[in-house]
Chain A
Amino acid sequence: MSESPNAIFSSLEINVDRLMEPLKKKKEKIPRQRIPGQNPEDRIHNFNEVPYGFTPEVAILEATRCIMCKKPKCVDGCPVEIDIPAFIKLIQEGDFLGAARKIKEDNALPAICGRVCPQEDQCELVCVLGIKGEPVAIGALERFAADYERNTGRVEVPEIAPPTGKRVAVVGSGPAGLTVAGELAKKGHQVTIFEALHKTGGVLVYGIPEFRLPKSIVQAEVDYVKSMGVQIKTNAVIGKIQTVNDLLKNGYHAVFLGTGAGLPYFMNIPGENLNGVYSANEYLTRSNLMKAYLFPQYDTPIARSRRVAVIGGGNVAMDSARTALRLGAEEVQIVYRRSRKEMPARIEEIERAEEEGIIFNLLTNPKRMLGNEEGWVTGMECLKMELGEPDSSGRRRPVPIPGSEFMMEADTVVVAIGNGPNPLVPNTTPGLKTSKWGNILADQDTARTSKRRVWAGGDIVLGAATVILAMGEGKKAARSIHAYLMGKK
């Protein structure tokens, strides 16, 4: 294992004033700073993180680009309303620890959000600098501050209010659950998280690959939440070992459900149960959570493939394709039924996948999967598509071109077309109302469900969304739960 490039922070002496000197005059001339990272040729052979992050010097330089708007739009663009100009100001001044603490007032998981948030659609989208040029690299700065704090070992436990004597059960330890737990622990409530898997972090550990979000960082953020007094029970499948009603009966004053979008969708086309056909959830869980990429040092196997086809155009599809490459596949293809413009993946992720040599088959849809006598997938029959009228999602509907069938060879297929809500908790919780798709219905402002003393948030409510939206939901729920527990309703 190579040492993190961030480790240099702790030994660096920075003369901030000297650095700032030439910059103060010509602010507008500083271009947006690029984040260095591994070359595509190298990185496809390892699972290490791709971008290295800013050095202190570059971080200060980038921070200096911020013009400190009086009415900062970036804050409105942030689902958890981080005081962005304030933390950037602290970075400008070289107070990196102060910057990290400023972010943590609103976001308990900055090292994670700095990496996986779609900033280009949020804070950076509305940054004033973006109108004429390029927005401030807010995400990279957030990551920098959080990494600096963690790498210097100076993570402080926030101030915890005196114990209230109230107990809260949080079901699921993903971004929503961790946020609720952290927020309520700060208010002095006694919080227990119940996690079904053996590791804490939900989608952050089973879904997002190491090369995009190192698991040591997730662990550090989990440890931070634990340091606030939150208890975590792993291997606890709520709905099986205890129901929500059991929790409410057994002394918990409130329950938050953040069980995520843990039900993989399949295409429902012939041949989908052939060997070598995976849901993205399975493929990524094997690799990320079970560390199948270290097989046989780790026991869990995963297909070692030559030609991999990944169906879908979202971040999960990109993660699956890039994982396949790192597992040694010679050729990896993305198969997506719309055009590049409609791809839901972050542009950054699409670009990284392209740099790594992943082939994009756009306007293409599989019709059936074909296999050999042993039941292994050998390829897919695909159809070319064209875009028709916009559908209910506002995107132009893909329409098959008659007679355009063609064969695509593949010994592994990963289906990454989305996930539905996991039904385990709704099915075992009488009185909990769900939508026709199985999402738990929760109030938009308070995250309250139809069941008394039960709140819900994250993907189980929103459908598959993003880490930061789940955290935003978690914050809303925490506010409402706190008000309820303190008798304010």
Chain B
Amino acid sequence: MNEILRKRVLAEGVVEFDIDAPLVARKRKAGQFIVLRINEQGERIPLTIADAWPRKGIIRIVFQVVGKTTEHLATLGEGDSLQDVVGPLGKPTHIERFGTVVCIGGGIGIAPIYPIAKALKGARNGVISIIGARTKELLIMEKEMARTSHQLLISTDDGSYGHHGFVTDVLKNLIDSGTSIDQVFAVGPVIMMKMICKLTRTHDLPTIVSLNPIMVDATGMCGACRVEVGGETKFACVDGPEFDGHRVNFDGLIKRQRMYLDQEKVSWEAYHKGKQEEHSRLGE
């Protein structure tokens, strides 16, 4: 059991937990993730470790409500405990002094790009970060990203804050302005990572992406998370989650992420029906 020590709502449907997990906090490196399970009936879901305090024994996760499990997770509060926390899983980000790096985070992808940007800055890279969201209210971790970046660029799809458009546009402007870039890191919705890679490929800019396929054990045992990279099947949980974005079959990944859409709906509806029944019972 791992206790939730602190809870913050970062935006509508986006929640941050600081969790008591001393061993994970001590071992974890940028780019790694945990798998958690809320309770005995729960599914195992992977979440990137957004930050960690080894001496305090705390890890931070940030998640968005997208289905039953994350919705249930968001109802938990400080003092509640998670049934299981496993980690740190996956390979850490390869960090070196590249020179100038661009770190791109889209939507909830800002949470996983943050520890990468932080580690890159620690390795004395020049860090330019681009973060984006659908609208201003949904933009998270701006302050943290500003702290770990030498330059922070922002975009919103609706133009309510920063550049009006996508993070891809901001990157394109950056490239067109003649900024010399040595390495790109991008984390966000699959379609965003695909578009970023399409752009960086034409400019020969090496690009690392962090993938988030469906996982079960996340220790290489089941293969649920297999992705095609350079024509070969890889397990994102142990071979990744980070890969050379120019070699990833994003279309395959998008399809695999949709595998359980029908059942996710069933699960969500059953959860809401259960909650309604509970409400009416308590009402009586």
Please report A residues at the B interface, Cβ cutoff 8 Å. Answer: 196-198, 206, 234-237, 240-242, 262-264, 266, 268, 272-273, 275-276, 278-279, 281-282, 285-286, 290-291, 295-301, 303-304, 374-375, 422-424
Contacts and interface: CB of A to CB of B under 8 A. Distances in A.
B219 A424 contact: yes
A272 B23 CA distance: 37
- The 4 A-B pairs at the shortest CB distance, nearest first, are namely A375-B255, A282-B222, A301-B263, A299-B43
Contacts of A285: 216-217, 221-222
Given A196-B86, A235-B86, A301-B260, A374 B216 contact: no
B44 A275 contact: no
A422 B219 contact: yes
B88 A241 contact: yes
A301 B222 contact: no
Which of A268, A275, A286, A291 has the most chain B CB atoms inside 10 A of its CB?
A275
A299 B216 contact: no
B282 interface: no
Contact of B252 (A197, A235, A273, A282): A273
For the residues of B in contact with A, the DSSP-based class is mixed
B226 interface: yes
A263 B220 contact: yes
Interface residues of B, number: 42
Contact of A266 (B23, B43, B223, B263): B223
Contacts of B121: none
Interface string B190-228: 000000000000000000000000001101111110111
B88 A422 contact: no
14 contacts: A197-B217, A240-B87, A240-B89, A241-B27, A266-B223, A268-B233, A273-B227, A275-B259, A281-B222, A285-B216, A290-B216, A295-B263, A299-B41, A299-B267
A297 B84 CA distance: 18
A237 B223 contact: no
A267 to B, nearest CB: 11
B264 interface: yes
Contacts of A268: 233
A33 B277 CA distance: 51
B116 to A, nearest CB: 19
A263 B41 CA distance: 25
Contacts of A275: 255-256, 258-259
A291 B216 CA distance: 12
A300 B216 contact: yes
B169 to A, nearest CB: 29
Interface string B82-93: 011111110000
A285 B219 CA distance: 13
A423 B256 CA distance: 25
